[in-house]
Structures are given as structure tokens and as C-alpha cells.
Amino acid sequence: MSYSKEELSAIQEAMDKWQVNVDRTIAKQGERKDPFISSGFNEINRLYTPLDVQGEYNEKLGFPGEYPFTRGPQPTMYRGKLWTMRMYAGFSTAEESNKRYKYLLDNGSSGLSVAFDLPTQIGYDSDHPMSEGEVGKVGVAIDSLADMEILFDSIPLDKVSTSMTINAPAAVLLAMYMAVAEKQGVPFDKLRGTIQNDILKEYSARGTYIFPVQPSMRLITNIFEFCSEQVPQWNTISISGYHIREAGSTAVDEIAFTFANGMAYVKAAIKAGMDVDKFAGRLSFFLNAHNDLLEEVSKFRAARRLWGYIMKEHFKAKDPRSWMFRTHSQTAGSMLTAQQVNNNIVRVCIQALAAVLGGTQSLHTNSRDEALALPSEESVMTALRTQQVIAYESGVADTIDPLAGSYYIEAMTDKIYNEAWDKIQKIEEMGGAEKAIEIGYIQSEIQKAAYQWQKDVESGDRIIVGVNKFQVKEPEPSGLLKVDPSVQKTQIDKLNELKSKRDNEAVANRLEELRQAARGDANIMPYILNAVKVYATEGEICGVLREEWGEYVAAVSL
């Protein structure tokens, strides 16, 4: 296809306008100086457009850092700064997890991502009967501020970005993190990181909920409001499609259900009296990087365009930062196999490449042995090195949105965008995500997709290497990480010692103040923070809220 002089002039004018954004960004944060970018050897342009190659100039593409953000949320993308390599870790005790974090930081990880054990995720202390057999198993056990102090011992919180995968008790764990920062002398406005804080997907896809929907939504909007004033650099929610996909959804449904949940949070915050532009810029997302490389690249690009449209046109946000879709990604845990575990290294590399080509802002790569156990130190190193090889050796980070203009990519991007938007509109007609969850629509759609996937695997229509084709006889796995069963006793002993030494009168007073706040309509974040500072435990704080708000009971459909 050839262009007229007028068309080429319009493209050049748009390019020149975008370049102003680039220059401003470089002046603020600099630009990477990798040899291939800066030396002129095999010189690579920042960005390719129809000025470089014949093809349709599509306004849906635009330029990176500009609406509709299809090509990326930042003008320079990885030319300016690589994605954050944020390895997910947490197991056993705070002491053991602290050692793993220091190991990861020493080996090039640029952010931390905390995995909590199941009791912590559902608001129980380690000595609760419901915690029996689960303490420290799938993440680190955190009962109080004392554990959090150990978890981040000698890790300067003004120098690292920390993500915490926590939902129902997110306010409590954020308060603990803030209290640790205060003890380190780090101002709250210097803290950078994310709490997942996405309760709606817990009801439909994951299950670590505590409270009914309405008080849970109150907690979320309280966090939005509190952090906008006290912790302005903190991402107050990571709206998660990851677990929706892990539960079996399609790529389209991952985006549709995630954005339906996101719209519910935005509506709740607006209803609580917040201006959309005051909090929308701190909304972040968490997507799955799945097996189908080109579909996944298209999914990330469609997601940016769609969220931009929703915020700009549907919610009428005025600040361009409110239109930006920023996402953390994790490779697909559900695609790891216990058979031929070394195949998982290849799978993770492809999935990580999809996230990078799709333009993710941070990334966790799963370890080869996670289908069998918590990852060993050696496996974690391989997973981290996978990201580093992609970043520094593959060349895919040297130019912005390298696959743009591919007929397949652009067609798939449009397809995912349109189908996801159709489903979102259907959910809105039902009354929004909360209603769609209440009537079981979202759960049903996930279950149908998961069932179809499993049927395809069992019939052989979908090949899983080493599982239903190319099998070999394997020896029993060795060298797996095992959590010492004495961890629960250790945690209980620490908890008992804490309770014997703390000011229990102050704890009782702070918990009563929290109870009264929960009965009213005040923002309860300051009350939780006050309780945390006197070493009230997570179980005690969540216990007060359980007594006042009750617990969510999932409806069972047969």
C-alpha cells in the first residue's frame, strides 16, 4: 500500500508530537544504554511506524504513552526502563523468607513479591484451629507486626518496590508494612508497591474471602481514600485476571471479568464520594501470561486499549494517567506439569516472552518444580535468569511494540477487544460484576471453559508435551523443598511470647476503637494501623471485623 503526501505528512506530524513525550520522559528518567541501542551497530529505532514499512496506518495503534495506549503506557517503554523483575516468594517463617528475598535482590531481582500462607490470607493467626497443617506451607506466616519486622529486616523499604498478594485482610498487611517503614524512618510517601486487594475475583475464582461483599467493598474504598492522602505512590489494588485464568477461563474472559470487577471498584469509589481522577491513576492489574504466545501478546495490547476506553469514555476521567492500564504479569502456574519438569523451563520462557512482547510493567516467572513443591533456590535462579536473558540477550526490548502491524496480531487484538467488551456490556446489563457473581454467571463461564480445556486434553485434541503425548518413564523427583512441620509450633511459641510482652491494655483499647469504627461509616484504615502498631495480631483484628460484619458464605449450585 502506498501513501499520499498528505497521509505521510499526518503520520510524521503525529510522530513529531509523540517525540515531545519521549524527550520529556528521557529527561526525567534517562534511557537505557545497551550496546545494540546506543553504539549504532545494527542500530534499532525506538519505534517503527508506516514511515518505516508499508502497511495500514491505524489510529487504534497510535503511539506509546498516548491514548489509546495499545502500544504501551509509557512513551519509551523498555527503551527507557526494563520491566520490574519481581519474583514471588514466601514460605515457612519470616526469617526464612527474609533470606530468600535477600538472595533474590543480590541476584538482580528489582522488586519483591510476597506470598502469604493460607491462614494469613484468610485472617487467622497460626494458633487458630483452622490453621492446623497449613502454617508456612504455601507462603510465609505473618501473625503480627513482629513477623513483618523480621520479614523486611535489613531491606530498605524506600529502595525496593513490594507487591503483596493479599486480598480479604489486605488493609491489615498494608498497615503492618507501613508500620515497618515508620520504624525504619521511611516516610509513607516514599513507599512503592502494590496490594492485590481484589476481593471480587475471590468470590468467583479463588476463594480466600472473609467478609460479605458490601463490607469488603467498603474496605477497598477506604484503602483507596487513605492511600491517596498518605501513601500516594502505592498501587491500592491489583485487579486480577491471573486467578480467573488459572481457574480455567479463556483469554477473552480473563479480560472481560477482570475489567467488570475493575468497573465495580471504580463505581464503588465514586459512590463513596471520591473523584475518579484522584484514585484511578493508582489502579493496577495482574494478568496471566499463558501458553499461546501470539494470543497473549494481543491480549495485553487489547487490554490497554479497552481499559483506556472504559476510563475515558465510560467514566469520563480527565487525567490521561487515569486512562492508563498498567499490569504485573505472572507465567501460568496451571500450565506447569509434574511430568518432565524441565519442560516447564521452556513453557515459562515462552510465557514470559509473551508478557514482554505484550508490554507488561512487571513480571514474575514461575519455577520449574512448582507443580511438585515450593520452588528450590536453584529453580528460582533459573526462573529469574529467564527474564534476564529475555531482557539483555533476545533483543525484544530494544524497540517499542515490535510486533505491531502484524496482520495476525492486529486482527487478534481487535477480536479480543470486541469480544471482551461484549461480555462486559452483558455483565453491566445484569447489574454489574457483583450481581453477575451473585447469580453465578461468571463462575459458570469459567467452569465451562475449564471443562472444555480438560476434555480437549483427555481426548488428545490439545497436546500437552509429556502429559498426553511424548511420555517417558521418570524416576521419583528429588531435591524438592520441604517446609519443616515444626514451623507451626515455632509460630505459636512466638505468638505466645508476643502476647505476654506487649501492652495488652493498649491492644484491647485499639481493638475496641476499631470495633466502633466498623459499626459506623468512618474510614477504618487509621484504626487498623493504630491496632497494628501496638502489636494486635491479624487474627485479632480480623476477628473484630468478623464479629461486626459476619462472614461470606458461597452459594452452592447443583
Q: What is the pLDDT of residues 37-55, one digit of tens each?
A: 655 555 667 887 777 654 4
Tens digits of residue pLDDT in 361-387: 999 999 999 999 989 899 999 999 999
Residues 515 and 452 occupy one common structural domain: no
Residues 453 and 496 occupy one common structural domain: no
pLDDT at 57 over 60: no
Residue 407: predicted pLDDT? 80
Residue 238 · residue 163 · CB < 8 Å: yes
Could you check whether the bond before residue 64 is cis, i.e. omega within 30 degrees of 0? no
Q: How many CB atoms lie within 10 A of CB 31?
A: 16
Give CA–CA dist 359/239, Å, rounded. Answer: 17
**Last-in-domain residue among 459, 476, 509:** 459
pLDDT at 58 over 70: no
Residues 243 and 366 occupy one common structural domain: yes
Residue 51 DSSP symbol: T
Residues 449 and 377 occupy one common structural domain: yes
Residues 292 and 422 occupy one common structural domain: yes
Residue 38: predicted pLDDT? 58
Residue 495's nearest CA partner among 114, 94, 171 is 94
Tens digits of residue pLDDT in 380-426: 999 999 999 999 999 999 999 999 988 889 989 999 999 999 999 99
Residue 259's nearest CA partner among 207, 314, 316 is 314
Tens digits of residue pLDDT in 493-530: 999 999 999 999 999 999 999 999 999 999 999 999 99
Three-state helix/strand/coil letters over 338-362: CCCCCHHHHHHHHHHHHHHHHCCCE
pLDDT at 185 over 80: yes
Residue 248 lies in a domain: yes
Domain count, the chain: 2
The CA-atom distances, in angstroms, between 128 and each of 164, 167, 301, 537 are 23, 19, 45, 12
Residues 491 and 348 occupy one common structural domain: no
CA atoms lying within 13 Å on the CB side of residue 189:
3
Residue 142 lies in a domain: no
Residue 558: predicted pLDDT? 39
Residue 47 · residue 400 · CB < 8 Å: yes
Give CA–CA dist 370/180, Å, rounded. Answer: 30
Residues 447 and 495 occupy one common structural domain: no
Residue 297 lies in a domain: yes
pLDDT at 196 over 70: yes
CA atoms lying within 13 Å on the CB side of residue 459:
8
Residue 210 · residue 551 · CB < 8 Å: yes
SS3 label, residue 67: coil
Determine the distance from the C-alpha atom of residue 333 to the mean position of all C-alpha atoms in its chain, rounded to a whole number: 14
Give CA–CA dist 167/219, Å, rounded. Answer: 10
pLDDT at 540 over 60: yes
Residues 343 and 247 occupy one common structural domain: yes
pLDDT at 557 over 70: no
Residues 254 and 176 occupy one common structural domain: yes
Mean local confidence (pLDDT), 458-471: 95
Residues 414 and 519 occupy one common structural domain: no
Mean local confidence (pLDDT), 80-86: 94
Residue 288's nearest CA partner among 262, 237, 254, 238 is 254
Residue 30 lies in a domain: no
Residue 353: predicted pLDDT? 98
Residues 284 and 421 occupy one common structural domain: yes
Residue 498 lies in a domain: yes
Residue 15: predicted pLDDT? 87
Give CA–CA dist 538/543, Å, rounded. Answer: 8
Per-chain mean pLDDT for the chain: 93
pLDDT at 148 over 70: yes
Residue 274 lies in a domain: yes
Please name the residues in contact with 230: beta carbons below 8 A apart, sequence gap of 6 or more: 178, 188, 189
Give CA–CA dist 489/30, Å, rounded. Answer: 50
Residues 448 and 505 occupy one common structural domain: no
The CATH number of whichever domain residue 220 belongs to comes to: 3.20.20.240
Give CA–CA dist 267/109, Å, rounded. Answer: 36
Domain containing 339: what range?
77-81+157-459
Q: Which residue has the cell 520479614?
A: 151
Residue 91 lies in a domain: no
Range in 295-304, 350-359, 548-557 the model is least confident about: 548-557
Residue 441: predicted pLDDT? 96
Tens digits of residue pLDDT in 484-502: 889 999 999 999 999 999 9
Give CA–CA dist 117/136, Å, rounded. Answer: 5
Residue 429 lies in a domain: yes
Q: How confident is the model at residue 239 (pLDDT cuts 50, 70, 90)?
A: very high
pLDDT at 56 over 90: no
Mean local confidence (pLDDT), 319-341: 97
Tens digits of residue pLDDT in 155-177: 999 999 999 999 999 999 999 99
Edge-first strand listing for the sheet containing 111-114: 234-235, 192-195, 161-164, 111-114, 84-89, 362-364, 327-331, 283-289, 237-240
Torsion region of 535: left, alpha or beta (phi above 0 gives left; psi -120 to 50 gives alpha): left
DSSP letters spanning 175-222: HHHHHHHHHHT--GGG-EEEE----HHIIIII----S-HHHHHHHHHH
In the chain, the amino acid numbered 487 is V
